[in-house]
């Protein structure tokens, strides 16, 4: 039991870390602005999801693949796909929002709470 | 015939320069800066160093205003003058519509010209101030500029709360304000040499099509090159005329580009070039990547370190060449280039 769990943590840590390391190279070696890098990540996740690659990868890597923005892109694709299967054409407009609603709302609420507690300081 | 300029009184020199008939005196210089600048190589020469760069205010913008107000007050007290003794205040900063300046100096009640030359503003302010004095339109003026790391990051890059990473070619905006009092007479309290503005060369906009705001040195270096080239030919001098040619905030990347560009013109300034952006922070220990920048970079370096070298007679003649990148957040986001400018101010020590 314990052995399995700790392996999961290790895998998530290594895979998530590897994705972040790749992105760090993008930030350091190119002139891409952070916003653009984030969009690239989301799109990559959605495309890999559509190709059927991301889902098995996420099953194996767990949070290491789910937490980075590529996971968000994959979730968007999954939501759209499910909504189309269920509701047809209208699902294109609905699915992405349904699937990402929890993540987006949580980010808004938690960052708002954080802004009450913490004030930005000078970088040093 | 009446349109012919009288050569005897003309102060024009060459294409873009002025040689003053009665060179204005710099009777005081003041600098106020933040903690990081205080820990830098010029820390011991800066008049006031603030540990808390918010200065007890609610916003970074208000803090920057306070820095400028303190710099003006310090300059006045060092020159033993009151604000009503000052005929004009020439000032500017980086924030939209010069809010740091306007809110900072409002209560000083000095007739005011607001200037924008990005980080070259101190050169523009000193140039126009010197023109006003030599032209007998003013007896005493103050030229002052400010910048603040946090307000500049918010306006030009990302607000600090966003927590983005800075690329290695990005410069570090200097927090603080620096200013000088110019006068048509020698100061009351004379410490060391008498310092005067002998002439100026007004820069023109040079645009090499650089679009990366994280690499402003490369955008400004061609403008600095152009102004130096024109200045030397207008004045009929060699670079060795100066003890130092002091550019504003080209940083490490931009300084190398400037020296290379001038070499192509057969001008060698590698021996006596200095860049405020390179000097104001310690590269080894302060991790500022490309060096310092901002309106306060050249202003504080001049008002603390350069003026001291002149007063102590270590240097006799310097060309101060603050450099600016004339882009805004809007022009940048719309994919425009970053036009550069550099204004040359000839400063000499006498006696």
Residue with structure tokens 């310090």?
B74
Give the number of domains in chain B. Answer: 2
Cα–Cα distance, B140 to B186 (Å, whole number): 11
**CATH number of the domain within which B236 lies:** 3.40.47.40
Task: Give a yes or no: residue B4 inside a domain.
Answer: no
Residues B208 and B340 in one domain: yes
Residues B173 and B205 in one domain: no
* Statement: residue A40 has pLDDT above 80: yes
Residue with structure tokens 């350091």?
A28
**Predicted pLDDT of residue B16:** 97
Task: Give a yes or no: residue A40 inside a domain.
Answer: yes
Mean pLDDT, range B241-247, rounded to an integer:
98
Q: Which of B160, B164, B212 sits opposite A31 (nearest CB)?
A: B212
| Neighboring chain A residues of B36 at a CB cutoff of 8 Å | 122, 124
Confidence grade of residue B169 (pLDDT, cut at 50, 70, 90): low
- β-strand partners of A92: none
Q: How many CB atoms lie within 10 A of CB A101?
A: 11
Q: Which of A120, A121, A124 sits opposite B36 (nearest CB)?
A: A124
Cα–Cα distance, B187 to B315 (Å, whole number): 20
**Predicted pLDDT of residue B190:** 62
Sequence-ordered list of residues with C-beta below 8 angstroms from that of B220, at least 6 positions apart, any chain = B119, B248, B249, B250, B254, B323, B324, B325, B340, B341, B342
| Neighboring chain A residues of B165 at a CB cutoff of 8 Å | 27, 34
**Predicted pLDDT of residue B60:** 96
CA-to-CA dists, residue B275 to A25, A49, B216, B241, angstroms: 30, 51, 14, 18
Residues B41 and B166 in one domain: yes
Cα–Cα distance, B222 to B230 (Å, whole number): 12
Task: Give a yes or no: residue B269 inside a domain.
Answer: yes
The pLDDT mean for chain B works out to 94
Confidence grade of residue B1 (pLDDT, cut at 50, 70, 90): very low
* Statement: residue B8 has pLDDT above 70: no
Confidence grade of residue A1 (pLDDT, cut at 50, 70, 90): very low
Sequence-ordered list of residues with C-beta below 8 angstroms from that of B185, at least 6 positions apart, any chain = B25, B27, B139
Mean pLDDT, range A20-39, rounded to an integer:
89
Residues B85 and B231 in one domain: no
Residues B30 and B174 in one domain: yes
Cα–Cα distance, B333 to B322 (Å, whole number): 25
- What domain range is B59 assigned to? 23-183
For the stretch A92-113, pLDDT in tens is 999 999 999 998 999 999 999 9
A115 touches B at CB < 8 Å: yes
Confidence grade of residue B41 (pLDDT, cut at 50, 70, 90): very high
Q: Is A91 within 8 Å of A84 (Cβ atoms)?
A: yes
Cα–Cα distance, B112 to B106 (Å, whole number): 9
Task: Give a yes or no: residue A18 inside a domain.
Answer: yes
**Predicted pLDDT of residue B6:** 57
Q: Which of A28, A115, A120 sits opposite B167 (nearest CB)?
A: A28
Q: Is the CB of A122 less than 8 angstroms away from the CB of B150?
A: yes
Q: Where are the alpha helices (DSSP H) in B113-237?
A: 121-134, 149-156, 216-235
Give the number of domains in chain A. Answer: 1
Q: Is the CB of B34 less than 8 angstroms away from the CB of A31?
A: no
Structure tokens at B78: 């060092």
* Statement: residue B3 has pLDDT above 60: no
**Predicted pLDDT of residue B116:** 97
Interface test with A, best of B33, B147, B157, B160 (most A CBs within 10 A): B160
Q: Which residue has the higher pLDDT, B190 or B209?
A: B209
Mean pLDDT, range B112-130, rounded to an integer:
98
Mean pLDDT, range B244-268, rounded to an integer:
96
Complex ipTM value: 0.76
Residues B151 and B203 in one domain: no
Q: Which residue has the higher pLDDT, A99 or B162?
A: A99
- How far off is chain A from B167, nearest CA to CA, in Å? 6
Mean pLDDT, range B264-289, rounded to an integer:
93
Mean pLDDT, range B29-45, rounded to an integer:
97
- Last residue within a domain, chosen from B163, B183, B203: B183
Task: Give a yes or no: residue B130 inside a domain.
Answer: yes
pTM: 0.90
Search chain A and give the residue with CA nearest B148.
Answer: A122
- Last residue within a domain, chosen from B183, B218, B244: B183
Q: Is the CB of A120 less than 8 angstroms away from the CB of B160?
A: yes
Q: Is B53 within 8 Å of B35 (Cβ atoms)?
A: yes
Q: Is the CB of B160 less than 8 angstroms away from the CB of A31?
A: no
Q: pLDDT > 90: what percent of chain B?
A: 85
A111 touches B at CB < 8 Å: no
The one-character DSSP state at B162 is G
Torsion angle, alpha carbons of B111, B117, B123, B127, to 10: -50
How many Cβ contacts (< 8 angstroms) between chains A and B? 30
Task: Give a yes or no: residue A123 inside a domain.
Answer: no
Q: Which of B160, B167, B215 sits opposite A123 (nearest CB)?
A: B160
For the stretch B279-300, pLDDT in tens is 999 988 887 778 999 999 999 9
Q: Which residue has the higher pLDDT, B163 or B180?
A: B180
Confidence grade of residue B155 (pLDDT, cut at 50, 70, 90): very high
Q: Is the CB of A120 less than 8 angstroms away from the CB of B159?
A: yes
* Statement: residue B5 has pLDDT above 80: no
- β-strand partners of B12: B18
């Amino acid at each position: 039991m314990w052995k399995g769990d700790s392996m999961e943590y290790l895998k998530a840590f290594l895979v998530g870390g590897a994705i972040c390391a790749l992105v760090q190279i993008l930030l350091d070696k190119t002139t891409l602005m952070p916003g653009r890098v984030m969009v690239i990540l989301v799109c990559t996740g959605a495309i890999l999801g559509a190709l059927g690659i991301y889902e098995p990868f996420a099953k194996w890597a767990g949070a290491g693949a789910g937490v980075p923005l590529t996971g968000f892109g994959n979730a968007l694709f999954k939501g759209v796909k499910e909504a189309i299967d269920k509701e047809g054409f209208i699902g294109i407009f609905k699915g992405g929002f349904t699937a990402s609603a929890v993540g987006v709302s949580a980010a808004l609420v938690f960052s708002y709470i954080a802004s009450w507690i913490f004030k930005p300081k000078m970088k040093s | 015939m009446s349109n012919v300029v009288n050569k005897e009184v003309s102060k024009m020199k060459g294409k873009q320069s002025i040689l003053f008939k009665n060179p204005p005196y710099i009777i005081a210089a003041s600098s106020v800066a933040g903690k990081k600048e205080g820990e830098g190589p010029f820390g011991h020469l800066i008049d006031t160093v603030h540990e808390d760069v918010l200065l007890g205010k609610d916003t970074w913008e208000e803090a920057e205003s306070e820095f400028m107000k303190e710099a003006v007050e310090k300059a006045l007290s060092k020159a033993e003058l009151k604000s009503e003794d000052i005929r004009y205040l020439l000032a500017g900063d980086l924030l939209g519509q010069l809010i740091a300046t306007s809110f900072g100096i409002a209560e000083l009640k000095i007739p005011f010209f607001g200037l924008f030359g990005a980080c070259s503003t101190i050169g523009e302010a000193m140039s126009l101030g010197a023109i006003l004095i030599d032209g007998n339109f003013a007896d005493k003026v103050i030229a002052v500029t400010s910048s603040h790391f946090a307000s500049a990051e918010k306006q030009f890059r990302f607000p600090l709360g966003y927590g983005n990473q800075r690329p290695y070619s990005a410069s570090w905006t200097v927090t603080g304000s620096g200013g000088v009092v110019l006068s048509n007479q020698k100061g009351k309290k004379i410490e060391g040499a008498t310092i005067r503005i002998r002439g100026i060369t007004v820069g023109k906009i040079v645009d090499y099509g650089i679009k990366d705001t994280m690499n402003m040195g490369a955008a400004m270096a061609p403008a600095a090159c152009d102004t130096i080239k024109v200045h030397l030919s207008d004045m009929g001098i060699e670079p060795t005329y100066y003890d130092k040619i002091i550019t504003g905030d080209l940083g490490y990347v931009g300084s190398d580009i400037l020296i290379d560009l001038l070499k192509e013109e057969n001008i060698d300034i590698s021996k006596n070039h200095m860049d405020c952006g390179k000097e104001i922070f310690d590269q080894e220990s302060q991790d500022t990547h490309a060096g310092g920048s901002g309106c306060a970079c050249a202003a504080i370096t001049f008002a603390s370190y350069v003026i001291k070298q002149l007063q102590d007679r270590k240097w006799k003649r310097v060309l101060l060449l603050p450099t600016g990148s004339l882009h805004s957040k809007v022009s940048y986001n719309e994919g425009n280039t970053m036009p550069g400018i550099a204004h040359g101010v000839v400063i000499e020590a006498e006696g």
